[in-house]
Amino acid sequence: MTTFSQFRNTKTVEDGYSFQSVACRAKSKGCVTLASSNTHIKPKIDGGYLSDAADLKTLREGIKLGRQLGNRPEWGEYLGEEVFPGIDVQTDSQIDEYIKNSVHTANALTGTCKMGTGKDAVVSPDLKVIGVSGVRVADSSTFPSIPGGQTGTPTVMIAERAAAFLRSPQQSVTTTTEVIMEQKSVEEAEPKLAAA
């Protein structure tokens, strides 16, 4: 996170504006593993940042777009000098090096306890931890895929759903796959209109 920590110490730059490139649907995957069977030992966390080249490309193109937008004449009197990554960082390899040295989480971590029915699921569709009795997870870690925006609202939705399950334990759970299959069955059962 060198960009932000360096900027705080930059006294010669006046107030300005910034663009932040974010890989909203990152393809890189990290992992959380146990360091020990002792529950007092912190787990090993590998963010896996930039382990998929597509994420580096996304961030690089975001910086290029930010530069295009930031240099528009419409900024008028607010148009100033580029601070980070800086005017000396121009080639793709230079931009990539800057990204590698400044990449950080957007503080919207998701998916460490994926909800689903597949072999990679940790939590069932009713938010129960698979293979563990009496434990549910009701936060953004259950998201099976990363949302394209802030995670606050879908996290509240997961919490509301968990509350509904706790109030009505016998409530049935319908998965997206079941809904899609139901829609296909209805479409197949409906008579097709002949083309005119």
Q: What is the mean pLDDT of the chain?
A: 83
Show Cβ contacts of residue 105 under 8 Å, excluding neighbours closer than 6 positions: 47
Task: Report the 10 Å Cβ neighbour count for 115.
Answer: 21
Mean pLDDT of 141-166: 89
Tokens 């800086």: give the residue: 86
Residues 155, 129, 118, 22, CA torsion sign = positive
Looking at residues 62-85, what average pLDDT do you find?
Answer: 91
* pLDDT for 195 beyond 50: no
Share of the chain above pLDDT 70, in %: 82
The per-residue pLDDT for range 158-170, each reduced to its tens digit, is 999 999 999 988 7
The answer to whether the predicted template modeling score (pTM) of the entire model surpasses 0.85 is: no
pLDDT in tens, 17-72: 788 888 888 899 888 899 999 999 999 999 899 999 999 999 999 999 999 999 99
In the chain, the domains with their CATH numbers are: 2-102 (3.30.560.10), 108-191 (3.50.50.60)
